[in-house]
Amino acid sequence: GKGGVGFIMEQKYGIDMPKKMREDFGYRVKSVSDHKHKELMPDEIYQIFQHEYVNIAEPYELVDFLLKKEPDGTRSGTVDVKVNGQLETFVAKGNGRLDAVSNALQKNLGVKYKDLTYSEHALEIGQHSRAIAYIGIKDEEGKTHWGAGMDTDIITASIQALVSAINRMQEGK
């Protein structure tokens, strides 16, 4: 069931998705399970999550970003993205780092979305700990597309999550 996969992900892997994303993931796992005509093992469920949601790099791949704080508190800088393998650098401006990158991607990639939902948490505790960020974006039809980002740096993880969500939206997922 849907509660089941969310519970497994949280208990076994420390992944605590937002409720709505958990539903989306539950349907995804169920379709794989139905297709294979079998109950999936926890590691198979985790693989689906990694493959379907985390650090998705097609058609857009986050390469780097450099954002500085302006005197008025806003952020500005650049974001480097590979678009179908071709490196592009976009100017980014916004209220925060995620907002700046989001503005740059919408403007330069011609993608449209609204109602960005965001959450994050640490995956491990300690010096080499990783963070995971979850982002949901609504397309023009009002459908929410979810993405996740994992990185040792929470800002990178959140931007990866946004790019993953955009990529999944492009694929109609």
40 and 65, same domain (yes or no):
no
Residue 3 has pLDDT above 60, yes or no: no
With CA atoms as reference, report the closest residue to 45 among 68, 15, 79, 76. Answer: 15
Range 126-135, long-range pairs (CB < 8 A, 24+ positions): 128/152, 130/157, 131/157, 132/15, 132/54, 132/157, 133/157, 133/158, 133/160, 133/161, 134/17, 134/18, 134/21, 134/161, 135/161, 135/162, 135/164, 135/165
Note the pLDDT tens digit of each residue in 155-166: 999 999 999 999
Give the domain CATH number at 146.
Answer: 3.30.160.270
Residue 42 and residue 75 share a domain: no
Provide the domain limits for residue 19.
Answer: 2-53
Six-digit token string for 69: 């704080």
CA distance 78 to 56: 20
pLDDT band at 126 (very low <50, low <70, confident <90, very high): confident
Indicate whether 65 and 124 sit together in one domain.
yes
Q: Is the pLDDT of residue 30 over 70?
A: yes
Whether 120 contacts 14, CB under 8 Å:
no
State how far the Cα of 135 lies from the Cα of 61, in Å rounded to an integer. Answer: 16
What is the share, in percent, of the chain residues with pLDDT greater than 70?
A: 98
User: pLDDT of 51-82, one tens digit each?
Assistant: 999 999 999 999 999 999 999 999 999 999 99
> Within this chain, do residues 75 and 8 fall inside the same structural domain, yes or no?
no
Rg for the chain, CA atoms, rounded: 16
